Amino acid sequence: MKIVVLDGYALNPGDLSWEGIEKLGDCTVYNRTLPELTVERAKNADAVTTNKVVFDRKLISELPKLKYIGVLATGFNVVDVVAAKEAGIVVTNIPTYSTDSVAQMVFSHILNFAQNVSVHANSVSRGDWIKSIDFSYWKTPQIELVGKTMGIIGFGQIGQAVAKIGLAFGMKIIFNNRSKKETDLDANQVELNELLSESDFISINCPLTNENSGFINKNTIEKMKSTAFLVNTGRGLLINEQDLADALNSEKIAGAGLDVLSLEPATENNPLPKAKNCFITPHIAWATIEARARLMNIATQNIKAFLDGNPQNVVS
């Protein structure tokens, strides 16, 4: 069994081990693979793993030996699963490995808006407190989360994990979901317009579909409070980025915390990195070492299950 890891660096920049996968066959690991190198590297492989390397119909047709594609992520839009199925190729993904880490990142952004710890720590490091005539000062308004309304768009596992943290902070939780969602949590399902108008903090945790692409735009932003903060750890294309930048710069909303953009890495013409009170992290909500270790373990088990004739987490 020849296994080729095409872009392993994101999962394992050196702090994890490929040993589990290496025990399953003749394994070659590449940190990154450019599109023009994919066929050469994968042409003799029985199994490949990919994170961002795209497997479209044309590429799949050029790899007749390939029997298995393991996507090293939950989203599997990098693979044409219809073409893969037609070619007899099993495609698997990695579900639910990063739920807690993503929920934690949502609140990292929320707490940044609430108290701006780094702003104040940097101020102290510059000597501002030494020079202060008062025992206490603050550079930004300090916000208490208790009693604030948090609106969660998408109430799957991550959305519910976000809700649990919000409840622990004493927040009121409302959510919007594309289907009716029963929950034991102290959270109420509402229509999107109500969520937008009532929320002090809005967390986007829904998957990207053809129907909701760009649904955060000028029209929906106008429904938000001017004091509202928007957090997106879902997909960048859920937001019309120019509309959000315009809203931030004109203070139509108070701030945005984003872990995803429409194109990644960020491009120079993206208006959001320079927008007012916009804080962007480089798609790292999934990347805690604990979450990546879970991902590695599930990826290994996916390949093993395929080899044993009982594939799991199949999406093709």
Report, as residue numbers or ranges, the catalytic residues: 235, 264, 283
Structure-token match 């790292």, residue found: 284
Nearest one of 165, 218, 217, 223 to 199, comparing CA atoms: 223
User: How far apart, in whole angstroms, are the C-alpha atoms of residue 90 and residue 315?
Assistant: 8
State the burial class of residue 233 (Cβ atoms within 10 Å of its Cβ: 0-12, 13-18, 19+).
buried
User: How far apart, in whole angstroms, are the C-alpha atoms of residue 29 and residue 15?
Assistant: 15
Specify the 3-state DSSP secondary structure of 78: coil
List Cα–Cα distances, 272 to 22, 189, 243, 261, in angstroms.
41, 30, 10, 9
User: How far apart, in whole angstroms, are the C-alpha atoms of residue 239 and residue 16?
Assistant: 34
What tokens were used for 260? 């995803």
Bridge partners for 28 per DSSP = 4
CA count, 13 A, side-chain hemisphere, 243: 14
What tokens were used for 174? 């409302």
